[in-house]
Amino acid sequence: MKKKILIAAVVVILMSFAAYAALLIAPTESKMGPIQRIFYLHAPAGMVSLLCFFVCFVGNFAYTLKRESKWDCLGVSAAEVGVAFCTVNIITGPIWAHPVWGIWWTWDWRLTLTFVLWLLYISYLLLRTLVEDPDRPWSARSTGFSRFWTCLWSTDRFDGGARSIPSR
């Protein structure tokens, strides 16, 4: 218990320093102004959510092969944390985009696929709570992983959307 509190305290201290660094140490971006500082939360949250979904894939893939409950536990844990980080990413994106590009949202490949990825993992988590047998949400697992790759691919392939609109 003490160890858990200690780790939690270290995480809080590190996050506080990260917030301080983003708000006071990092220079203000010349075109976008102070709102650009949200980028320090927005982009890493998106990256970490993809990392979580990858861990979810590894857990579910191992569970499919070995049928050991520990892998299923890892899969669902990573999916839940990934959805939380993906939510942060989806919320902070429009907060950044509106003052800079004048739009809250655009249905370009990257944003749409991220939104679909988010919905897919929410449906996976919902399916898991609704179905007793842990083998059932298999289709959600596999499609979720394919969406994960298309999301990564779209980030690389389609560098458009809100960012293609000149800053105000």
Partner 1 sequence: MIMGGSGSGLEPTMAKVFWFWFFNLVILMVFLVRERYRLEAMRGEVQLIEREAEAA
Contact footprint for partner 1 (CB under 8 A): 4, 7-8, 11, 14-15, 18, 21-22, 25-27, 29, 39-41, 43-45, 47-48, 51-52, 55, 69-70, 73-74, 76-78, 80-81, 84-85
- Distance between CA atoms of residues 32 and 99, nearest Å: 8
Instruction: Provide, rounded to whole angstroms, the least separation between the CB of residue 112 and partner 1.
Output: 21
Rounded-to-integer distance, Cα 113 and Cα 109, Å: 6
Contact 50, 88 (CB under 8 A): no
Residue closer to partner 1, measured from CB, 18 or 116: 18
Determine the longest span between alpha carbons in the chain, in angstroms. Answer: 54
Minimum distance from residue 125 beta carbon to partner 1 (Å): 12
66-74 long-range contacts (CB < 8 A, ≥24 apart) are 69/134, 72/134
∠ CA 135-139-140 to the nearest 5 degrees? 95
Which lies closer to partner 1 via its Cβ, residue 25 or residue 65?
25
Residue closer to partner 1 by CB (options 25, 130) is 25
Nearer to partner 1, 17 or 104 (CB): 17
